[in-house]
Amino acid sequence: MPKALIADLLTRCNFPEAGTEVACGLSGGPDSSSLVALAIAADLKVEAWHINHHLHPNADDHEHKAEIIADQLGASFVGRDVYIDTRSNIEEQARAARYEALPDDVMVGHTADDRAETILFNIARGGGLQGAAATFSNVRRPILNLRRHETQQLCQALKLDTVDDPMNADDTFARVAIRNNVIPALAEALNRDCVPLINRHGDHMRDAQAVIAAQAAALDPTNVKELAAAPVAVATEALRQWLTNATTPMTANPTTPTTACIDRVLDVVHGVHKATEITGGYRVTRTKGVLRIEPPA
């Protein structure tokens, strides 16, 4: 075991106390394999979960490799099969199916590079302050302060035969294109590693978001008069929270409304329109100064 390397990486990880039983997502790639290795080095009792999407011919081989890695590192292994409709939006469908199959308290191996990619993706799709912060609050990400090259280095040091997912080279997926094309182009244009800069921007957005969210929580997001009187940033956040929370029970795969959606709802607030459609086919209507959400037809 490369003890010095592991000890250095652990100083930047956020694992629970020794002896805790945890579930870790294990695709078999360097990031998730490093997550399992570091969790075990932190004296956690690790159950490694692999989700087989059956999206490419080597999917079963990848599951077998993941099981070998779990055994090599000393983790128990759980495999699950999921199937999705491959005719459209494969990336988001696969992600939703994966998290539905994983335990609610699962740890995943996202790194600082993943967060930088997500920040750029969210900004490009109009995700607002929340998207630009990319706080990743829904599941635990204990190695988020590590870099991708560090997880690769650790797997090489541990002599792990990790998986190379062919989807990571497919630029038709937006996140992959950002990883393989946009971030390298930014690094070349700025003549420096831009991942720390993007993540620092995310931290600033997170802090600003916390202040705005505290003010937004005091508003009634269905009350047109209160929304119209509030600062735009506060009204926008109140609507984002309301729309996200209100649509979650209606679907197994809720989607955070984009800035464009919220702008259209603000037009309803200010009387420009009486109703508007938002993400997921929902409609927001206004009656006697009160906003309501109607589910998709």
The token duo for 27 is: 């695709």
> Per-block average pLDDT, block size 10, for the chain (297 residues)?
90 96 96 98 97 89 96 96 81 84 93 96 85 82 97 97 85 91 96 96 94 95 97 94 79 65 95 91 93 90
Please, are residues 183 and 116 in contact by the beta-carbon 8 Å criterion? yes
What's the pTM?
Answer: 0.82
- Tokens 């609610």 belong to which residue? 104
Residue 50 burial by CB count (10 A; 0-12/13-18/19+): exposed, middle or buried? buried
Answer left, alpha or beta for residue 281, where phi above 0 means left and psi between -120 and 50 means alpha: left
Supply the pLDDT for residue 253: 47
Strands (E), the chain: 21-25, 45-52, 76-81, 275-277, 283-287, 290-294
Residues composing the chain: 297
Supply the pLDDT for residue 255: 60
Supply the pLDDT for residue 252: 45
